[in-house]
Structure 1
Amino acid sequence: MSTKDLEPEHAESMLRLIEASLQVKRRHQFYHWTQGDMQRLVPHRVSACGAYDLGVRDLTFNVLNSVPMPDDLLSSLSDMHSPVMQHLHAQWNRSAQQVSWVDLTDLAPHDRSARGLCEQGYRWLLTHGVTRPGRPNELETFFVFGQPGCLPDDQSAHILNLIQPYLHATFLRVHCTERELSGMGQHMRGPALAGGVDKPRAAASITDREREILRWVREGMSNQAISEELGISALTVKNHIQKILRKLGAANRAQAVAKAMSMNLFSLTVEQPSRRAPGESFLATGH
């Protein structure tokens, strides 16, 4: 199979994805890049993206989830040495290091995290990776995609195989940029401030209403659209978002969503957003 075998809309999505990849340099940009055309090509609700880190001589992972997941499951996907990730890697190796759908059923009776993933609907996970130059037994990047309730399909696997070079290059760029900026921050601010925002304190300071608004921001809704959904003014929404950015230490909405995901804030989000809260008025509009 080749790009000629793709439906026209998938071919167009792939072209947009490749073009947009050149602008992706930060972690929050990578998250949004995977939530656009990538979702049309390789549908997923959770992804684990790992890159080899020379500093620790191992793969370090970012887990990106657009739906709430228990912390222990997120942890298992972010650790290359967890039974789940070891199983995924082993199965990928057995498939001659080709894109693979991996079934967690066999591992589930022996590992709580694998069992939890199966119970959440992630029985099948789509995997692919790239080995280090000249070291075929060592990974340079490794990617895992999961969609609740999905079954293996050749099209998703074929598309992931086609976009893998761009996924690999883009995530390596993000990994290097974040590592350089982290080192720069450590040098400029000192060890006490190198970690940035105090995550537990920031997470605790986010109110239920702010989580609710963050949920709609994650869906790509504008201030006006959120205001209409919640029955409050667009100016009120804007004020809430400014408070969220300040609390999370985020520069923009995309970065706020990425940071909220890393704190697992969406697991506390109300499933059905409430309408106008008592005491909130619809007096002004804003964007």
Structure 2
Amino acid sequence: MEAVVILSRLEQEYLLRAIESGLRVASARQFFLWTQGQLQALLPHRVLACMRFAPGGALLRIECVHGTVLAPSALAALAGRRDGLALRIARHCMLGARLPALLDGGEQRGAGAPDGILRTFHAELDALGFDSVLVHGTGQTLEGASVFVLFGLPMRPSARHAHFLECLLPHLHLALMRLPQERQGTAPARALSARETEIVGWLREGKSNGEMGQILGISALTVKNHLQRIYRALGVSNRAHALARCMELRLLEA
């Protein structure tokens, strides 16, 4: 018999907030803000790969959500539509009918997966700098399946974390289903300059205006002025919305 997971009062509060916020997700920007906010509070991670599969197993969609800048090569290795690591992990787990699945990269590798279902991916995960993975999915339905892979959890993942993800699974699935298949955001008022794109990249790394100024060799006030011009170009009003808008338009990936 599986052990009963009893949530603390704080965990219950985080879970309820994540569920309530997920009910309103209907755009790529909202999905980004939700997964980088309430979901992170309950299940901190570095990268979230979300996949939808057709009833026959064909990949319909893959979204890679992350709050820090990923090198193009790392992004392709993780979220490639042909043979990306997230896709192969999802299919491996579905084929083995083992969901949820987790990998603890601590002292005892694979301690969270006694059957070793994820051990075959050790070398690739190490090469990309990830030592922990948590995977869950809906299983096959009449409309196909959804699978979610969390990379780089700061804590050693356990059955408790798998339970959190299982509670959120229906809401992640429905939110992913509600996202428009094609990006529907209009283009920005103008293209971002090289310096503005650089600033957005550092913004995504969580740098303050002062820190960005030191990195770029300019004043914090100049950084602030750049940010104001970025907001106007993107049609947003703050840092979080600017990041979400860039994600929606795939500006950073370009």
Pair 1:251-2:236 in alignment: yes
**Aligned counterpart, 2:192:** 202
Pair 1:142-2:158 in alignment: no
Give the number of the structure whose residues are more often helix, by fraction.
1
Q: Which consecutive unaligned segments of at least 5 residues does structure 1 have?
A: 186-193, 266-287
> Deviations along 1:127-175, whole A, 9 cap, x unmatched?
112245336xx42x221111266533121111101110111112211x2
Do the aligned partners of residues 83 and 237 (structure 1) sit closer, same or farther apart at CA in structure 2, a change above 3 Å counting?
closer
Give the superposition deviation at 1:69: 2.2
**Aligned counterpart, 2:23:** 22
Rounded Cα–Cα distance in structure 1 between residues aligned with 2:121 and 2:64: 21
Q: Kindly tell me the number of residue pairs found equivalent between the two proteins.
A: 229
Pair 1:162-2:167 in alignment: yes
Structure with more contact order per residue of length (Cα contacts < 8 Å, sep ≥ 6): 2
1:191-230 aligned at under 5 Å gives the runs 196=187, 202=192, 204-206=194-196, 208=198, 211-212=201-202, 214-215=203-204, 226=209
Kept after mapping to 2: 8 A contact 1:47/1:143:
yes
1:106-125 aligned at under 5 Å gives the runs 106-107=120-121, 114=124, 117-125=125-133
Rounded Cα–Cα distance in structure 2 between residues aligned with 1:153 and 1:146: 14
Rounded Cα–Cα distance in structure 1 between residues aligned with 2:176 and 2:3: 23
Amino acid at match of 1:76: A
Give TM-score, length-normalised by structure 2: 0.71
Give TM-score, length-normalised by structure 1: 0.64
- 2:227 corresponds, among 235, 241, 250, to 241
SS at match of 2:120: coil
Pair 1:151-2:141 in alignment: no
Rounded Cα–Cα distance in structure 1 between residues aligned with 2:211 and 2:78: 37
Kept after mapping to 2: 8 A contact 1:10/1:40:
no
Do the aligned partners of residues 243 and 211 (structure 1) sit closer, same or farther apart at CA in structure 2, a change above 3 Å counting?
farther
**Aligned counterpart, 2:134:** 126
Rounded Cα–Cα distance in structure 1 between residues aligned with 2:102 and 2:41: 18
**Aligned counterpart, 1:88:** 89
What is the RMSD of the two structures over their aligned residues, measured on CA atoms? 3.7
1:2-81 aligned at under 5 Å gives the runs 5-52=6-53, 58-81=59-82
Q: If you compute each CA radius of gyration, which structure gives the higher value, 1 or 2?
A: 1
Do the aligned partners of residues 13 and 64 (structure 1) sit closer, same or farther apart at CA in structure 2, a change above 3 Å counting?
same
Rounded Cα–Cα distance in structure 1 between residues aligned with 2:139 and 2:188: 34
Q: Which moved more, 1:147-156 or 1:118-127?
A: 147-156
Rounded Cα–Cα distance in structure 1 between residues aligned with 2:54 and 2:96: 25
Rounded Cα–Cα distance in structure 1 between residues aligned with 2:149 and 2:66: 12
Rounded Cα–Cα distance in structure 2 between residues aligned with 1:252 and 1:243: 10
Give the superposition deviation at 1:73: 2.1
Give the superposition deviation at 1:13: 0.5
Identity of aligned residues (%): 26
Do the aligned partners of residues 205 and 58 (structure 1) sit closer, same or farther apart at CA in structure 2, a change above 3 Å counting?
same
Give the superposition deviation at 1:18: 1.1
Do the aligned partners of residues 209 and 92 (structure 1) sit closer, same or farther apart at CA in structure 2, a change above 3 Å counting?
closer
